[in-house]
């Protein structure tokens, strides 16, 4: 009888531990890297604007760099959302590339949060309402939020 109660008690604690691990791992899957360092932003700018980066972003008023930084760190959000599987969203490939200064830019075929450069795509920088896009046929969804 004591063995039965002991196993039942362990089962209860094991069930609680499993539930906690499941919930935290499920939550962590939706969280994607959404804040960028100054060095990452600089790399994004140079990838898109190439030799024109200083002239177009850094040597002009600080407004353009502030606009890019605000876009990347406050408006741009990537989430892993498998529950949106059947929903229709515009694809980032439909946006087109910002390849005026770098003709070698290519569309991303998969999403890697450490190499994906949002500046490559023609996202609306200052939308009036929230816009949502899917990354290819993945479960990753990009939201561009309007700031009031």
Other beta carbons within 10 angstroms of residue 117's beta carbon come to 18
Tokens 């200083």 label which residue?
A: 54
**How high is the pLDDT of residue 61?**
77
Give which of 120, 125, 112, 140 is closest to 73, Cα–Cα: 125
**How high is the pLDDT of residue 31?**
60
Model-level pTM? Answer: 0.74
DSSP state for residue 110 in the 8-state scheme: S
Render the burial of 50-80: b for 16+ CB within 10 Å, e for the rest: eeebeebbeeeeeeebeebeebbeebbebbb
Out of 4-13, 60-69, 86-95, least confident range = 4-13
Other beta carbons within 10 angstroms of residue 12's beta carbon come to 10
CA distance 117 to 64: 17
Domain boundaries, the chain: 31-144
User: Is residue 21 over pLDDT 50?
Assistant: no
Strand, helix or coil for residue 76 = strand
Tell me the Cα Rg of the chain. Answer: 21
């Amino acid at each position: 009888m004591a063995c039965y109660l002991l196993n039942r008690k362990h089962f209860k604690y094991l069930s609680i531990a499993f539930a906690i691990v499941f919930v935290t791992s499920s939550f962590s899957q939706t969280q994607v890297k959404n804040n960028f360092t100054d060095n990452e932003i600089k790399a994004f700018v140079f990838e898109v604007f190439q030799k024109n980066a200083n002239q177009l972003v850094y040597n002009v008023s600080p407004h353009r760099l502030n606009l890019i930084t605000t876009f990347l760190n406050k408006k741009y959000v990537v989430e892993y959302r498998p529950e949106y599987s059947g929903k229709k969203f515009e694809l980032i490939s439909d946006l087109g590339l910002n390849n005026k200064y770098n003709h070698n830019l290519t569309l991303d075929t998969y999403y890697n949060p450490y190499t994906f450069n949002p500046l490559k795509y023609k996202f609306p920088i200052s939308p009036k309402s929230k816009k949502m896009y899917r990354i290819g046929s993945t479960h990753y969804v990009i939201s561009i939020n309007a700031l009031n």
